[in-house]
């Protein structure tokens, strides 16, 4: 089977970006809400996002700021307040999430433009979007500056809201079909998570027994 090799040292920023977003798929989408020091709410989606560890509970979000090194609203608010809320995006939320992706000026309330109802946060001050199937309330753990206008924000999850119809609280089991989350692909493409399958990792002795049976 043939493969095509790309030397990232020989590629420019845009070329690397195109290859990465087409390769690392699907990526979960973080619809992040923050509050500025002036009390104004902001919302924006980010697909360079994932959970890194559970102890402590740390998520990571890659943020690209402006080329002149000015912070975008999300990055500035997190830096100034140390708080943010990550919402998981489901199929029903996609159109409103896309409105929040529009590059509005700081005077525009994306949540109002998208018609998203919110309530104040519990452990953080950033608002929680009621339509989202899940919301992770986070406090900034660390910010890694990885370029002139790029940073990775690590957030410690201090609280989690999950739509009650999608969780069995007694078993801490989340119904992934009921979550109906969507993922980001390359270009303008998204994917649904309804098409699922299960594989249970075997113990070493199970693997050895399987090999023994296959060899007979």
pLDDT per residue over 74-112, tens digit each?
999 999 999 999 999 999 999 999 999 998 887 889 999
Q: What is the pLDDT of residue 48?
A: 96
Name the strand (E) or helix (H) holding 155. Answer: strand 150-162
pLDDT of 42 strictly over 80: yes
Instruction: Give residue 201's pLDDT.
Output: 94
Neighbour count for residue 211 (Cβ, 10 Å): 9
Are the beta carbons of 152 and 60 closer than 8 angstroms? Answer: yes
Report yes or no: 86 and 28 within 8 Å, Cβ to Cβ: no
> Which pair of structure tokens corresponds to residue 133?
């199937």
pLDDT by residue (tens digit) across 180-197? 999 999 999 999 999 999
Question: Does 37 score more than 80 pLDDT?
Answer: yes
Nearest residue to 77 via CA among 117, 126, 27, 29 = 126
Q: What is the mean pLDDT of the chain?
A: 94
Whole-model pTM: value is 0.93
Q: What is the pLDDT of residue 149?
A: 78
Distance of CA 70 to the CA centre of its chain: 22
Q: What topology is assigned to 8-215 in CATH?
A: Pnp Oxidase; Chain A (2.30.110)
SS3 assignment for the chain: CCCCCCCHHHCCHHHHHHHHHHHCCCEECEEEEEECCCCCEEEEEECCEEEEEECCEEEEEEEECCCCCCCCHHHHHHHHHCEEEEEECEHHHHHHHHHHHCCCCCCCCHHHHCCCCEECCCCCCCCEECCCCEEEEEEEEEEEEEECCEEEEEEEEEEEEECHHHEECCCCEECHHHHCEEEECCCCCEEECCCCCCCCCCCHHHHHHHHHHHHC
């Amino acid at each position: 089977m043939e493969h095509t090799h790309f030397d990232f040292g020989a590629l420019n920023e845009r070329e690397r970006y195109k290859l990465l977003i087409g390769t690392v798929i699907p990526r979960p989408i973080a619809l992040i809400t923050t509050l500025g020091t002036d009390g104004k709410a902001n919302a924006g989606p980010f697909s360079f996002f994932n959970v890194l560890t559970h102890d402590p509970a740390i998520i990571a979000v890659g943020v690209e700021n402006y080329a002149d090194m000015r912070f975008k609203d999300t990055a500035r608010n997190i830096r100034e307040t140390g708080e943010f809320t990550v919402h998981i995006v489901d199929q029903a939320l996609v159109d409103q999430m896309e409105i929040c992706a529009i590059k509005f000026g700081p005077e525009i309330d994306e949540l109002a433009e998208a018609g998203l109802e919110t309530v104040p946060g519990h452990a953080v001050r950033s608002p929680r979007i009621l339509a989202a199937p899940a919301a992770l309330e986070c406090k900034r753990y660390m910010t890694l500056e990885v370029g002139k206008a790029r940073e990775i924000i690590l957030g410690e999850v201090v609280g989690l809201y999950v739509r009650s119809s999608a969780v069995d609280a007694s078993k801490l089991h989340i119904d992934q079909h009921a979550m109906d989350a969507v993922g980001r692909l390359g270009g303008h493409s998204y994917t649904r998570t309804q098409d699922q399958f299960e594989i249970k990792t075997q113990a070493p002795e199970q693997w050895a027994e399987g090999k023994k049976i296959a060899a007979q």
